Amino acid sequence: MKKIISFLVLLAVCMSHRAQTPLAVRLNTLLADTLLRDSEVGLRVVDLTADSLLFDYQGNKLYRPASIQKIVTAVTALEFLGVEHPFTTCLYHTGHVTPDSLLEGSLYIVGGFDPLVGKADMDAFAAAVKDMGVRQIKGRLIGNVSLKDTLRWGSGWCWDDDMPPLTPLLYERTDSFLPALHRSLSAQGVSVVDTTFAYTAYAPDSIMTQIAYCKRNLEELLDRMMKKSDNLHAEALFYHLASAYEGSLYATAEEGAEMMKKMIQRVGHDPKRFIMADGSGVSLYNYLSPELLADLLVYAWKQPHLFKPLYNSLPIAGIDGTLKHRMKGTVAYRKIHAKTGTLTGVTSLAGYAHAANGHTLAFVIINQNMLQSRVARSWQDRVCEALAGYGGR
């Protein structure tokens, strides 16, 4: 009886698709797998070389994307900001330096939401202050956090998740910039009279003088964001997008979402159909479709200035990133460049596949309501093997 039921399920799935290419037959067979009895899946495959839709199963349905949301963030940021967009943290001082090495003013640091700021940057800031001839600071250390609103967590983030703080002033991925600067100054022999730290969204009334800055560009953040699925890097990009929104006084999640909606509209979709809550995919409020994600991948592929940095940042099957241990010893090894995603009940994979016939494919897989991520990943790997073998003998 079980064999009869399995055959009928397979027959029903196969009859639901008119195009019965060898790839479609193989994918339909995978869709008849018993693991999908209690869960949902959306699957869409586009042949970029032939400019044609190869396969679609529930591609227009809405799903929680998990970390493949980062593809939306990456494409939007590359489109509207560009790979050279700066993430700059600037150090200023107010007042003046007296002949006896006293700074009669404060140090003022403008946060650039740079998640890569570390000890070397902090020591460089402190050295720049010392090189001014300063041995004591009469004022205090003031952090400008005007780049972002005051919410420290993303919209829809679970309160009990161990998530990094969202603040424009980051030091080694933590909200400890000013204490770290104080320590570096002390190590350089520079003391601060007022040891109470202050945070503000406004520049001081007195004239400021720039002392030093550290800067990274978007491409430097993109690699870790995609290869390692770094949520903090994704949110940094998201809030830089928000800061670029017209009329923005400071960056909010709503404005970041508006920039994503511009991108969605640019690829021919109605942004009202989808929900964009954050840049990382951690939020449970995000909802998008495999069709939308596939169209973003297609759009990027057609734009060399977008495709190259995006493609280079994606994990490679069996080689690096979150795909380092997947698909080894299979036809998909090194042939899949894709972003992974995992939340409770969600396992996703989206990116590019190099097929046996020399074609490049864009694909999106979102498994939903599947509690065993390991099982879902194994099923996705079999889909990728089918894509990598497409057009072969």
DSSP state for residue 51 in the 8-state scheme: T
pLDDT at 393: 60
Residues 6+ apart with CB under 8 A from 302: none
Here the tokens at position 169 are: 């002033």
Q: Quick one: 86-217 is in which CATH superfamily? A: D-Ala-D-Ala carboxypeptidase C, peptidase S13 (3.50.80.20)
CATH 3.40.710.10, applies to 13-83+221-388: yes
Model confidence band, residue 247 (pLDDT cutoffs 50, 70, 90): low
% of the chain at pLDDT higher than 90:
81
Query: pLDDT: is 109 or 155 the higher one?
Result: 109
Return the domain boundaries, the chain: 13-83+221-388, 86-217
Which residue is listed with tokens 């919209």?
155
Question: Mean per-residue pLDDT for 54-63?
Answer: 97
Q: Which residues contact 50 (CB under 8 A, 6 or more apart)?
A: 359
pLDDT tops 50 at residue 14: no
Pairing of strands 360-368, 346-354: antiparallel
Task: Give the Cα separation of 53 and 296 in Å (integer).
Answer: 14
Tokens of 352: 């590019």
pLDDT reading at 19 higher than 70: no
pLDDT: which is higher, 252 or 154? 252
Q: Say which amino acid occupies 335.
A: K
Confidence of residue 35 (pLDDT cuts 50, 70, 90): confident
Torsion sign over Cα 283, 284, 290, 292: negative
Mean of pLDDT values over 144-162:
81
**Of how many residues is the chain composed?**
393
Query: Rounded to an integer, what distance in angstroms lies between the CA atom of residue 115 and that of residue 232?
Result: 7
Q: What is the pLDDT of residues 111-149, one digit of tens each?
A: 999 999 999 999 999 999 999 999 999 999 999 998 988
Amino acid at residue number 378 = S
Helix or strand or coil: residue 196?
coil
Check pLDDT > 90 for residue 379. Answer: yes
Average pLDDT over residues 3-29: 63
Q: pLDDT, tens digit, for every residue of 294-324?
A: 999 999 999 999 999 999 999 999 999 999 9
Structure tokens that stand for 185 in this block:
């100054």
